[in-house]
Amino acid sequence: KKILLSLVIISFTNLSFGQQIEKLDYCNCIEKIEKNSPIYDGKYERICKEKTTDVGSFKNDLPDGEWISYNYKGGLISKINYSEGKLNGLFELYFLNGKVQFSGNFINGKKNGIWKYYNEKGIVIIDGEYEMDKPINLWTIKDKKGKKIVAQYDYTNSKYILNEVDEKFKGSTLLGGALLAYNLFIENAEVPRDFWDTYADLKYLAKFKIEENSSSTFILDEVNEKSSNITITFSSNVQTDPESQLHKIDHSRLSKKLLYYKISEALSILPPWVYKGEKETTIYIPYKVNIR
């Protein structure tokens, strides 16, 4: 019995020393990860005010496997699957009331299968299908109530069936228009809990490459200043609490890495592009938290 007890204690000690724990006092959070140097590796968990907000895993410094986020009530925000940094598997977002907000699928970074976007009542407002990144067949976009069709595009024959959206750009554009895409981005770009009650002023450029079949890919980079070659701007300015409750901190490399993937995820599930001869488009994203 003494030998068995000793083995249990040794095993527990090794587990404790194998896990890195960092306290984020400014937001009453702790982060647990199996390995944080020189790269992130293994299981990750963030706990804020004694409630788990994020769980996932890293492999070779990249998100891997299923990542789950929870809201302050313990309800689901998202379930997103990765394979060594590439979206791979089911991607789901949820409203605060627990209903599904978006559901789609990826295969090794490529969009595939039926995609659906819902309103808070569970009514489908956008739906369509991808075949390995290429939008196919009929895509339909309705108003927020899900009653009226505002845009419908036949990707098989590359033509609109209906389009009541006032497009501002002559070149390749997002189905449903830039305003719809912007609103979806703001709704889906989750602000990580460790950025609440802090100041953040970050800038990103998303450079999209659009093929003639309307498939698209993008590269997201953090930048120091706005580029002159901008087609669309997705300005994100979040205010959390009064200035007296805010903290001036330097966000860690891990915090900024996780934010990068949150922004990338929101861009990855925008509606498909409609190719109109322009193969490159740049979206500028000034990401501000509590910056007036």
Overall size of the chain counted in residues: 292
Please, what is the Cα angle at 249 between 245 and 255, to 5 degrees?
110
Which pLDDT band, with edges at 50, 70 and 90, does 8 fall under? very low
DSSP track, 94-131? E-TTS-EEEEEEEETTEE-EEEEEE-TTS-EEEEEEEE
H/E segment holding residue 168: none
- SS3 assignment, position 285: strand
Composition of the chain by helix, strand, coil, percent to 5: 20, 50, 35
pLDDT for 82-119, tens place per residue? 999 999 999 999 999 999 999 999 999 999 999 999 99
pLDDT for 123-171, tens place per residue? 999 999 999 999 999 999 999 999 999 999 999 999 999 999 877 667 8
What is the rounded distance in angstroms from the CA atom of residue 156 to the CA atom of residue 239? 43
Beta bridge partners of residue 138, listed in sequence order:
154
Which pLDDT band, with edges at 50, 70 and 90, does 12 fall under? very low
At residue 225, the pLDDT reads: 82
What is the rounded distance in angstroms from the CA atom of residue 35 to the CA atom of residue 246? 30
Is it the case that residue 1 has pLDDT exceeding 60? no
H/E segment holding residue 13: helix 2-17
Is the C-alpha dihedral spanning 167, 172, 175, 178 positive or negative?
Answer: negative
- CA separation, residue 88 to residues 60, 79, 92, 119 (Å): 16, 12, 12, 25
- Find the mean pLDDT for residues 6-32: 66
- Quote the tokens at residue 130: 């991808």
Burial of residue 29, with CB atoms counted within 10 A of its CB: 0-12 exposed, 13-18 middle, 19 or more buried: buried
What is the rounded distance in angstroms from the CA atom of residue 246 to the CA atom of residue 238? 13
Is the C-alpha dihedral spanning 233, 234, 236, 237 positive or negative?
Answer: positive
pLDDT for 185-212, tens place per residue? 999 998 899 999 999 999 999 999 999 9
